[in-house]
Amino acid sequence: MDTSAVKKFVPFIVMPAFLVIVELGSLALSLPVQAAGLVAFQDPQSMANPLIFMAILLGFTAFLLVLIKYGRKNLIAWVIGISIFLTFAYVFAALVPMVIGPGYVEIAVMLALSVAATVLLYKYPEWFVIDALGLLLAAGVASIFGVSLGTIPVILLLVILAVYDAISVYKTKHMITLAEGIIDLKTPILFVIPKKRDYSFIKEGIGKLANGGERAAFIIGMGDMIMPSMLVVSANVFCGGVKYFGLFNLPALGAIIGSVAGLAVLLHFVMSGRPQAGLPPLNGGTILGFLIGWALIGFA
């Protein structure tokens, strides 16, 4: 098989693997997250939660678009950097108590790890650093929101997000503007899959290569991994059924399988070279897989 053919298969192997790692990681983190009381919403079954989530998302997106419009790239980097640090802090707040008892030492270690991870991402944003820490970051975010939202609110949120993603990519196109601005800054909130062995995200970004105009790497947004994983966690926490391998029940397993199928559909269209809205097929596949799994346990 020639090199070009191999490169075409890379995203079909690596991206689904990343998605499953994030989903399994978020399931593994759900217990320590619950034990630490790290919830985004007090009432997980409230149907107002998805609307609050969307209001925050739209506000943050609008803020970033304004900064991009007026060329305030340094401020964007600071805003995203602070957000990444705070997210790491929440993730390590769940993980550190598993090793160190409560107290000042726990807080110091949690803060030190959060600072170190954030500094590493910004001082040495090579693709393998971004991907490794991104997997932890995405799993942590998905776990926190997954245990904070019941299955029906999560499904409603995923439907709203899929519609919003489609409108923002194909109609208003502001999501493309936002993505290009973030990519230009080499901001570490995406996953990068190189097309060649000597690729460097620091030196090349994902811009055009000199020898033919082909992108240097495949990318997928962190949100495309987080959103399906939220339903996986929620299904495992709020639905009944036997926990296979002590980790997931049938609704969660169905959501995982459905998300991978949705990602396969997305990658088929991505290979056309045009920007694609990732959440419609991803969220749609995840919801369908969840519903099948939920039906198999009698909607318990």
- pLDDT (mean) for 179-195: 77
1: pLDDT confidence band, cut at 50, 70 and 90? very low
Residue 247 lies in a domain: no
- pLDDT (mean) for 223-233: 95
pLDDT reading at 173 higher than 60: yes
**What's the pLDDT at 184?**
67
Nearest 5°: the CA angle 106, 138, 185 is: 105
pLDDT reading at 114 higher than 90: yes
Report yes or no: 88 and 122 within 8 Å, Cβ to Cβ.
no
Residue 277 lies in a domain: no
CA 214 to CA 103: how far, in whole Å?
52
Residue 53 lies in a domain: yes
Residue 200 lies in a domain: yes
Between residues 177 and 19, the one the model is more confident about: 19
Residue 72: helix, strand or coil by DSSP? coil
- pLDDT (mean) for 17-27: 96
Task: Tally the C-alpha atoms within 13 A of residue 67's C-alpha that lie toward its C-beta.
Answer: 19
Residue 299 lies in a domain: no
pLDDT in tens, 246-257: 889 999 999 999
Would you give the distance in Å from CA 35 to the centre of its chain?
A: 22
- Chain-wide mean pLDDT for the chain? 87
- pLDDT (mean) for 274-296: 92
End-to-end CA distance of the chain: 48
CA 142 to CA 223: how far, in whole Å?
9
Residue 248 lies in a domain: no
> Which distant-in-sequence residues (6+ apart) come within 8 Å of 177 by Cβ?
65, 68
Residue 273 lies in a domain: no
**What's the pLDDT at 209?**
41
Buried b (16+ CB within 10 A) or exposed e, 173-191: ebbeebbebbbebbbbbbb
**What's the pLDDT at 6?**
55
Buried b (16+ CB within 10 A) or exposed e, 137-165: bbbbbbbbbbbbbbbebbbbbbbbbbebb
**What's the pLDDT at 3?**
55
pLDDT in tens, 133-167: 999 999 999 999 999 999 999 999 999 999 999 99
**What's the pLDDT at 160?**
96
Between residues 58 and 7, the one the model is more confident about: 58
Going along the chain, which residue ranges are E strands? Answer: 190-194, 217-221
CA 22 to CA 146: how far, in whole Å?
12
Going along 172-237, which residue ranges are E strands? Answer: 190-194, 217-221
pLDDT in tens, 39-86: 999 999 999 999 999 999 999 889 988 888 888 878 888 888 899 999
Structural domains in the chain (count): 1
> Which distant-in-sequence residues (6+ apart) come within 8 Å of 235 by Cβ?
151, 249, 251, 252, 254, 255, 290, 293, 294
pLDDT reading at 211 higher than 50: no
Task: Tally the C-alpha atoms within 13 A of residue 30's C-alpha that lie toward its C-beta.
Answer: 28
- pLDDT (mean) for 6-14: 75
**What's the pLDDT at 5?**
53
pLDDT reading at 194 higher than 70: yes
pTM confidence score: 0.90
Residue 53: give the domain boundaries: 3-224
Residue 235 lies in a domain: no
Between residues 216 and 157, the one the model is more confident about: 157
pLDDT reading at 267 higher than 50: yes
